[in-house]
Structures are given as structure tokens and as C-alpha cells.
Structure 1
Amino acid sequence: MLTFDLALGAATGGLNTGDIIFQLVMFLVLLALLKKYALGPVMNIMKQREEHIANEINSSEERNKEAQKLVEEQRELLKQARVEAQSLVENAKKLGEQQKEDIIQAARSEAGRLKDSALKEIEQQKDQAVAALREQVASLSVMIASKVIEKELNEQEQEKLINDYINEVGEGR
């Protein structure tokens, strides 16, 4: 009777429970096969991809933190370099000023030494000129005395003789 009912239901367009059960069983088998062979690997791939993306994000965040740390270190080093450069410039200025003062002091000392040397040389030249003048005066005096002795002169002749000798001495210079 069951077969009759099944056949009658199929012929009349009624509900065929056998086909439904068969299709339901086949659907569940297909679903189990898909889960085992297709859905499992796809889910594993998706899980691996998710882990890979999470690792990449973590790695990127760590690199970002390291980059920030390096930027801070570079900023600190730049500050230190600026401070050192400023210190070097200030030291160079101080050294330049000290060298300037040393050079000025040395120049003043040298100028004083040259001045003293020139004054000594002038004094020596003056002494030599005075000595030479004394020698000439002495020799002129001797010459005048010898000329006076050679001839007795009156006052006019004596004065003329003295003037002649003075002029002679003036031309000799």
C-alpha cells in the first residue's frame, strides 16, 4: 500500500516523502563532504590569512614604535650636536679673542723693544756726532792756534780767519 500511495502521490503531483527524505539525506552527505573537504581547508586558509594579517599588523606596530624611538633618539642626538656645535663656536670665539689679545700684547712688546732700540741707537749716533764734533773743534782750535801763532793778527784779521774756518767746517759737513 505504501508503494501505491507513493505512486499515486507522484502521479497526482502530491507530496513524495521518499524523494524528500532521499534528497535530505543526500544534502546532509553533501554538506558533510563539503565541510570535511572544502569548508575545513577554506576555513583553515582564512584562519591562516587572519593570523598572517594580525602578525603583519603587530609587526608593523612594532616597527612603527621602533621608528618613533629612533626618531626620538635622532632628535636627542641632534640636540646634543647643536649644543656641542654651540660650545665649539663659543670656545673658538674665546680662543680667537685670547689669540687676538696675545698678538696685540706681542706687537706692543715688540714696538716697545724697537722704540727702546731706536732710542739707544739715536743716543749712540748723537754721542758719536758730539765726539766727532769735539774732535773737529779741537783740530780746528789747534789749526786756528797754529795759524794765529804763525802770524800776529789784529782783531779784524783774527775775526775774518775764524769766520773763514767756520765756513770751511760748514762746507765740510
Structure 2
Amino acid sequence: MNPLVTPSLGLLFWQVVTFLVVLFLLSKFAWKPIMKALREREDNIDAALSMAEKAKLEMQALKADNERLLTEARVERDRILKDASEAATNLVETARAKATEEGQRMIEQARISIVNEKKAALTEVKNLAATLSIDIAEKLIRRELQDEQAQRALVQSYLQDTHLS
């Protein structure tokens, strides 16, 4: 039979001794660094998990801040739009008031101009009527005074009306 298939007592002894030596050497030199590396890895995994949790919390905080900023920006936008609308309304009202005032001023100036033009036209009509009356009177007097007899009678009449003192 094959000695590997059915081990003898000496082989078993040496296998146990070898196992114990390897176990001693491993516990003395390898297990501490292996266990240390495993603990470090476990610590690194715990640190990474805590950092991931911290990052998750920071992301939630950032998201909340972003929502708050968006809300504030919307409120600010609404306020700016309201202010702009009020300013536009005020500007329109001011322009309307100025236009009304300017229109009233122009109407008053036109009224004054019409009155002045009317006075000037009346004065011109009076002057024209006076000139026309004088022209008509002159023509009538010339017609009447064409003969010498009528002229002497008129002079006599004027002299009688005039009192010389």
C-alpha cells in the first residue's frame, strides 16, 4: 500500500509537528500583521461608511439650502416684478398727468390766442368800417358838392353853426 494513502505513526507525528511549527510561526509573525491589516481594512470601511453617511447628510443639507435659495430667489423675483409693475404704473400715471396738464395748458394758450385774434380782428373790422365810412362820406360829399351853389350853402351852414367869439 501506498504510504500516503495510509499514513504511518511517524508521518502523522511529523505532520503534527510541522503543523504546530507553522501554526506557531504564523501566530508569531503572520497573524498579527494579517489581523492588523484586517482591522485597518475594517476601520477604513467604517470610515468610508461614516464619510458616506456624512456626505449624504451634507447633500441633504445642500439640497435644503438649494430649496431655500430657490424659494428666496422666487420671492425676490416676485418682489422685483411687483416693484417694476408699480414703477411702470406710476410712470404711466405720471405721463398721463403731464399730458393732461400740457393739454390743458395748450388749450388755455389757444383760448388766449383766440381772444387776442378776435380783438385784433374786431379792431381791424372797426378800422375798416371807419375807413369805409370815410370813403363813402367823401364820395357822398363830393357828389353833393359838385355844383358851386351846394358848396356855398354848405359853407354857410358850417359858418352859422360855428360861433366865433
| Normalised TM-score (structure 2) | 0.78
Q: Which residue of 1 aligns with 2:52?
A: 60
Q: Distance between the aligned counterparts of 1:14 and 1:105, measured in 2?
A: 120
Q: Distance between the aligned counterparts of 2:22 and 2:93, measured in 1?
A: 102
C-alpha change, 1:112 and 1:21, in structure 2 (3 Å) is same
Q: Which runs of 5+ in 1 are unaligned?
A: 1-12, 154-173
Q: Which residue of 2 aligns with 1:42?
A: 34
Q: Which runs of 5+ in 2 are unaligned?
A: 1-5, 146-165
Q: Which residue of 2 aligns with 1:170?
A: none
Q: Which has the higher contact order (CA 8 A, sep 6+)?
A: 1
Q: Deviations over 1:46-75 (max 9, x none)?
A: 111111111011111111111110110110
Q: Which residue of 2 aligns with 1:125?
A: 117
Report the CA distance between 1:15 and its aligned residue.
6.0
Query: Within 5 A, what are the aligned runs for 1:5-154?
Result: 16=9, 19-152=11-144
| Normalised TM-score (structure 1) | 0.74
Q: Percent identity?
A: 31
What is the aligned residue count?
140
C-alpha change, 1:132 and 1:25, in structure 2 (3 Å) is same
Q: Deviations over 1:5-59 (max 9, x none)?
A: xxxxxxxx9963x554444233212211012222221221111111111101111
